[in-house]
Amino acid sequence: MERALPTHAPMSQWPLRDGELLVGSEPLSRLAARVGQTPFYAYSRPLLRQRVAELRASLPRAVKLHYAMKANPMPAVVQFMAGLVDGIDVASAGELKVALDAGADPAEISFAGPGKRDPELRQSVAAGVLVNVESLRELPVLAAASQELGLPARVAVRVNPDFELKGSGMKMGGGPKQFGLDVELVPEALAFAAREGLAFEGFHLFAGSQNLRADSICEAQCKSYELALRLAGHAPSPVKFLNLGGGFGIPYFPGEQRLDLAPIGANLQAIVERAAREMPAAGIVIELGRYLVGEAGLYVTRVVDRKVSRGQVFLVCDGGLNHQLAASGNFGQVVRKNYPVGVFPVRGTARETASAVGPLCTPLDLLADRMDLPQAQVGDLVVVFQSGAYGASSSPQAFLGHPACAEVLV
């Protein structure tokens, strides 16, 4: 018997009506007419709201939910998310400005990232946001800014742990890393903070990204908690802030399934109960980017040409890796796999094997490689699902000088 090929997770968050994909209640073709151009990204408010609600229902109430806005920094999205989550995590002074403009409470903004420049650190002190310190060099800069401005420098220490997040698409902790302070250096940083009167608040651990295995996320959260508890013994004051990271993934490729939140919720509940005894002042935070916004976004591009080359069908679209680098496989994938892709409107039952490519002069500009798709013609819309995170802002939009994509929040 033939083994069934692995398939993409169903994109059931996007209903179909009469062959049209619906964005909210609006058919995609009408949305495209309203936007006035292709390519564009569309993000759905109801889907964003639904995702946060699901998380709230699955995680303990005591756990605070932060949005890591680098996943999607569109100002309207950040503003919408700021109204749903408990805090915003920024990775630059540029993102800090967007978060503040969006009305996020500075008390609930934290700033992490390697290579924070001196002016960015000073801006953070002036804004009153929490800085996740990742290098001993940042400490005296923060102390000087605090002195000069007469404001407390709120700091947490981002720790590069001595373990890795198993099954993670992108590892960002464990071993030698540019992120965070190696555990071994943390006592020295804490002693400096105490000596210089920095306002120590807690610890930040982030082990990695795009993980679909609940067991390894739970393991990383437990180990992160243990490590923070050990380090709390060196802290100048009680831990108020304990960011256990995130790394929750979404299904992109055939065979991948949605993350099971139930065991993560139970694991966090156990951590919350331990923390109530062992670090009673600590508010537990998880920070998520992709998981909050990734499934709520579409990348929409139009077929400008349909070519058959030696028997293979190519749908040549008006956008590609210049806007949606990740779907082309060039944003950290080792072996290229197809994102879920669709062609709309669906006119009948005829299907064909086709490749969707962008307009750039490079074979890397590939959105779908020989996929089974509804038969498409020039003018149809090619949709890349799972495009709400690491899309427009993570792609080389200037490459080849095509127009920028539009972005709409619907």
Ligand X SMILES: *Cc1c(COP(=O)(O)O)cnc(C)c1O
Neighbours of 194 (CB within 10 A): 14
Minimum distance, C-beta of residue 302 to ligand X, in the bound complex (Å): 28
Which residue, 284 or 371, is less far from ligand X as judged by CB? 284
Which amino acid type is present at position 380? D
Binds ligand X by CB under 6 A, chosen from 70, 171, 223, 323: 70
Binds ligand X by CB under 6 A, chosen from 247, 329, 342, 374: 247
**206 contributes a contact to ligand X by CB under 6 A:** yes
Identify which range of 11-19, 67-75, 225-233, 378-386 contacts ligand X by CB under 6 A: 67-75
Which residue, 247 or 342, is less far from ligand X as judged by CB? 247
Which residue, 287 or 365, is less far from ligand X as judged by CB? 287
Which residue, 285 or 346, is less far from ligand X as judged by CB? 285
Which residue, 40 or 206, is less far from ligand X as judged by CB? 206
d(CA 163, CA 71): 24
Residues 106-145 as x/- pattern, contact with ligand X by CB under 6 A: ------x---------------------------------
Q: How far is CA 318 from the centre of its chain?
A: 26
Q: Per-residue b/e over 96-105, b at no fewer than 16 CB within 10 Å?
A: bebbbebebe
Minimum distance, C-beta of residue 291 to ligand X, in the bound complex (Å): 6
Q: How many residues bind ligand X (CB under 6 A)?
A: 16
d(CA 245, CA 257): 21
CA of 283: how far to CAs of 193, 201, 289, 369, in Å?
20, 10, 19, 46
Binds ligand X by CB under 6 A, chosen from 55, 63, 65, 71: 71
Minimum distance, C-beta of residue 189 to ligand X, in the bound complex (Å): 17
Strands 64-68 and 40-43: what pairing? unpaired
User: Which distant-in-sequence residues (6+ apart) come within 8 Å of 242 by Cβ?
Assistant: 202, 203, 225, 228, 275, 279, 282, 283, 284, 285
* Three-state SS at 4: coil
Which residue, 287 or 407, is less far from ligand X as judged by CB? 287
Minimum distance, C-beta of residue 367 to ligand X, in the bound complex (Å): 21
E strand spans, 206-311: 208-211, 241-246, 283-288, 297-309
- If phi > 0 it is left, if psi is from -120 to 50 it is alpha, else beta; for residue 327 that is alpha
Residues 275-304 as x/- pattern, contact with ligand X by CB under 6 A: ------------xxxxx-------------
Which residue, 249 or 359, is less far from ligand X as judged by CB? 249
Closest C-alpha to 392, from 7, 15, 42: 42
* 1 DSSP β-pair partners: none
Which residue, 332 or 396, is less far from ligand X as judged by CB? 332
Identify which range of 146-154, 202-210, 311-319, 366-374 contacts ligand X by CB under 6 A: 202-210
**325 contributes a contact to ligand X by CB under 6 A:** no
In the bound complex, which residue of the shown chain has the CB atom lying closest to ligand X? Answer: 289
E strand spans, 358-401: 366-374, 381-384
Residue 190's H or E segment, with its range, is helix 186-196
Minimum distance, C-beta of residue 207 to ligand X, in the bound complex (Å): 10
Minimum distance, C-beta of residue 266 to ligand X, in the bound complex (Å): 21
Which residue, 65 or 125, is less far from ligand X as judged by CB? 65
Identify which range of 118-126, 205-213, 326-334, 352-360 contacts ligand X by CB under 6 A: 205-213
Q: Are 152 and 199 in contact (CB under 8 A)?
A: yes
* Three-state SS at 121: helix
Which residue, 344 or 390, is less far from ligand X as judged by CB? 390
Name the residues that contact ligand X, by CB under 6 A.
68, 70-71, 89, 112, 206, 209-210, 246-247, 287-291, 389
